[in-house]
Structure 1
Amino acid sequence: MITADDFLAEAGRAGFDFYAGVPCSFLTPLINGVLNASARGAQGAPGGTPGGAAGLRYVGAASEGEAVAIAAGAWLAGRRTVVMCQNSGLGNAVNPLTSLNAPFRIPTLFLTTWRGEPGIPDEPQHAVMGRITQELIALMGLEQGPFPAERDALAPALDHAVARMAATGLPFAMVVRKDDVAEAALDPAPRDLPPPGRRADFPAAGERPSRAAVLERFLAVVPEEAAVIATTGKCGRELFTLADREQHLYQVGSMGGASGMGLGVALNTERPVVVLDGDGAALMKLGSLATIGAYAPARLVHVVLDNGVHDSTGGQATVSASVDFAAVALACGYRFAAAAASLDGFEAAFREALAAGGPALIHLRIAPGSMKVLGRPTVTPEAVARRFQAFLASGRGTARA
């Protein structure tokens, strides 16, 4: 058995400084340890810069898949990351692990617990996943190793994980068993309620604009220093077709994960970060709005392009017609939200969102359909990720350049 401080000390030596996850009783000591260490290092509230001892930070996600996406964004912004979750939630992480981390070659140390371990009594809902946890990890093509439950095993195990992640560009998994880590109490840090957010509406009569027209207007007004993450499907394809820039990341998979990735980037950069989301994707990970509101990155602008349909799969209707995304965002703690239905309304809302301080959300209702001549990104996801990572690390487009 080790202590959380034992693990954090060796993990810190190995460069791990950003944690995201969803709690499990087997993970309680590690999560409490990260939270306590972060609080000891910095007393500031979550915001647009890293917090905690040497930047140590834990972000509590609404779902396991969201935690993977948040960590992916943090990695792009230069952090070495750890994702922690219960194996019963491993299924929620399968999609981003296979359609985000794999194609983009984004590594993370993935710690999942072993609830339902054969031969150890547990709750019935853990029985199936307990039998298949390691096999599922292997089936996803991820390397794995035993969790280092002894002090002498910590450094070699973490060094091995770092080496394998560097070689493969993929996550490395460890399965945490009950009592691998000694109990650790949480020093509670109350979270202040955010001030009420402000809403602005930009109504318009007439036909709604196309997504391509909105993206053309967006390209004309987005700051050159901004990092832009475009959701999966035709949004990213149209953005690439109109203009391929190093500030763009086209999230070809992991539907719903763009907002989580944007949060991970925004918590670790001083640049503006813009997420171009869709109504179907935003609804799929609606809990991400609550996480964004809670951690409140100061320069994040979340744009929901709502055409009311799943455009990439034949135009089937989503349920967004009855959803007021701006109201949802304010209820989740966003500092500014706007609703618009025209190009001029979008531009006015976007400029106001940049000036208002984030997080900010713009709900723009647009027409269904896409460009007649629509390409796909010709740059591989791995190349896009490395290019985007280099852009974030550089001074290009910033006052420091």
Structure 2
Amino acid sequence: MIEAAQFVEAARERGFDWYAGVPCSFLTPFINYVLQDESLHYVSAANEGDAVALIAGVALGGGKKRRGIAMMQNSGLGNAVSPLTSLTWTFRLPQLLIVTWRGQPGVHDEPQHALMGPITPQMLETMEIPWELFPTEADQIGPALDRATAYMDSTGRPYALVMQKGSVAPYELKKTGLSGVRANARPAAVQRFEGERVTRHDALQRVIASTPADSTVVLASTGFCGRELYAIDDRANQLYLVGSMGCVTPMALGLALSRPDLRVLALDGDGAALMRMGVFATLGAYGPSNLIHLLLDNGAHESTGGQATVSREVDFASIASACGYALALDGDDIGVIDRLFDAKDVDGARFARLSIRTGTPADLPRPKVTPEDVRARLQQHIGGR
């Protein structure tokens, strides 16, 4: 058994200062220690996949200089499969995973862990994530972290430490609340604007005009959103998600928090937003003033044939307001985009839903730049800041 401080301080020496996750009883002393150290950054995620995507955003902004850890119970691997297989693996965005081993064979546990316990190692191996047991002796910590960072630096992919019960000595939680959240912030009043719906093409042209490459990063959701942005103007400050549906917003949050020198735009779609609506609460609580969330809502999964979503029955702007966003706009008028970017004295994340028409240009190309190349290009573009 080790002390939480022994691991956290050794990790800090190696650049790990960002943490995100969902608690597990095995992780309690570890999380309690991190929460009470104001020099560390901890984000309480709505689910494990959001935590992985958020730490991917930290990695995007910091490279080897800034490292992050995603923490979860092994049951949460199910929630994290998509970002682990189509975001971190595809774009080569490394992070350290601390996964608890509930239901470990030979160790009595609750019935819900009876299947996940035995298959946890195979799940990690199937996702091509190397793993080892979380250190339980002080002299094991440094070598374990060195193996992890060496793998992460050489491959750009995650490495996992699997934590057994009783690995970390108890550590009392003396602090209430969470650092970094917008405590007692009043909900933003929703502002609505009527007009004539425009096409995604028109909306993206307005987005490009509002996001200068020297100071803004644009992360575009998977599907036609990213593909059409690429077709209009492929700029060095843009990244186009492939797969990992719904992960653009937690990823943008991680980048915005870790890089306050940049303005970060999460360019979202209605289908993707519906998939991970829990992240609205996380963005509302933690979202900094350099984070912008624009939802282009055409009411359809257009890239898969135009099947309708339920978005027309959802008041996204009211949800954003209730979750703590500092600005919440809604409308059909393309001027919503200008208001979103031009609003002054906004203390927190800002949100706008723009209702757009369906329809996509014929022969819309797929990006010719690979995910690894577009990630490397963006990191080079923002690296000197």
Common topology (TM > 0.5): yes
Q: Provide the secondary structure at the position in 2 that maps to 1:37.
A: coil
Aligned: 1:317 with 2:301:
no
Distance 2:174 2:287 in 1: 22
Output aligned runs, 1:142-291, within 5 Å. 142-190=129-177, 192-204=183-195, 206=196, 208-224=197-213, 225-269=215-259, 270-291=261-282
Query: Are the equivalent residues in 1 in contact too, given 2:340–2:351 (CA < 8 A)?
Result: no
Distance 1:370 1:357 in 2: 35
Amino acid at match of 1:184: Y
Distance 1:31 1:123 in 2: 22
What's the counterpart of residue 43 of structure 1? none
Query: Are the equivalent residues in 2 in contact too, given 1:23–1:85 (CA < 8 A)?
Result: yes
Query: Are the equivalent residues in 1 in contact too, given 2:239–2:375 (CA < 8 A)?
Result: yes
What's the counterpart of residue 5 of structure 2? 5
Alignment deviations for residues 194-227 of structure 1 (CA, whole Å, 9 cap, x no partner): 22313321111x4x21111110111122233111
Query: Are the equivalent residues in 2 in contact too, given 1:19–1:57 (CA < 8 A)?
Result: yes
Q: Provide the secondary structure at the position in 2 that maps to 1:33.
A: helix
Shift of 1:317: 0.9
What's the counterpart of residue 45 of structure 1? none
1:359 corresponds to which of 341, 349, 354: 349
Distance 1:8 1:97 in 2: 23
2:94 corresponds to which of 74, 86, 107: 107
Query: Are the equivalent residues in 1 in contact too, given 2:71–2:99 (CA < 8 A)?
Result: yes
Query: Are the equivalent residues in 2 in contact too, given 1:229–1:276 (CA < 8 A)?
Result: yes
What's the counterpart of residue 25 of structure 2? 25
**Percent same amino acid at aligned positions?**
49
Shift of 1:266: 0.7
Shift of 1:357: 4.1
Distance 1:202 1:61 in 2: 32
Alignment deviations for residues 214-248 of structure 1 (CA, whole Å, 9 cap, x no partner): 10111122233111100001100000010111110
Distance 1:20 1:64 in 2: 9
What's the counterpart of residue 326 of structure 2? 335
Distance 1:103 1:37 in 2: 33
Residues 223, 358 of structure 1: alpha-carbon distance in 2 compared, 3 angstrom cutoff: farther
Amino acid at match of 1:195: R
What's the counterpart of residue 94 of structure 1? 81
Distance 2:226 2:168 in 1: 43
Query: Are the equivalent residues in 2 in contact too, given 1:4–1:184 (CA < 8 A)?
Result: yes
What's the counterpart of residue 116 of structure 2? 129
Alignment deviations for residues 12-45 of structure 1 (CA, whole Å, 9 cap, x no partner): 111111111100000111111111123xxxxxxx
Shift of 1:155: 0.4
1:392 corresponds to which of 368, 376, 382: 382
* Farther off after superposition, 3-12 or 383-392: 383-392
Any gaps of 5 or more consecutive residues in structure 2? none
Alignment deviations for residues 98-125 of structure 1 (CA, whole Å, 9 cap, x no partner): 0000110111001100001111111100
Amino acid at match of 1:211: R
Query: Are the equivalent residues in 2 in contact too, given 1:203–1:345 (CA < 8 A)?
Result: no
1:344 corresponds to which of 335, 338, 352: 335
Q: How many residue pairs are counted as aligned between the two chains?
A: 376
Distance 1:76 1:99 in 2: 15
Runs (4+) off by over 4 Å? none
Distance 1:394 1:241 in 2: 27
Distance 1:262 1:184 in 2: 32
Shift of 1:96: 0.3
Output aligned runs, 1:64-79, within 5 Å. 64-78=48-62, 79=66
Amino acid at match of 2:194: P
Amino acid at match of 1:172: Y
What's the counterpart of residue 398 of structure 1? none
Query: What TM-score, normalized by structure 1, do the two folds share?
Result: 0.91
Amino acid at match of 1:263: L
Alignment deviations for residues 149-206 of structure 1 (CA, whole Å, 9 cap, x no partner): 11000001100110011111110011100000011111223352222313321111x4
Residues 15, 348 of structure 1: alpha-carbon distance in 2 compared, 3 angstrom cutoff: closer
Amino acid at match of 1:138: E
Shift of 1:344: 2.9
2:362 corresponds to which of 366, 372, 376: 372
Amino acid at match of 1:299: N
Any gaps of 5 or more consecutive residues in structure 1? 39-51, 396-401
Query: Are the equivalent residues in 2 in contact too, given 1:340–1:346 (CA < 8 A)?
Result: no
Query: Are the equivalent residues in 1 in contact too, given 2:193–2:336 (CA < 8 A)?
Result: yes
Distance 1:92 1:128 in 2: 16
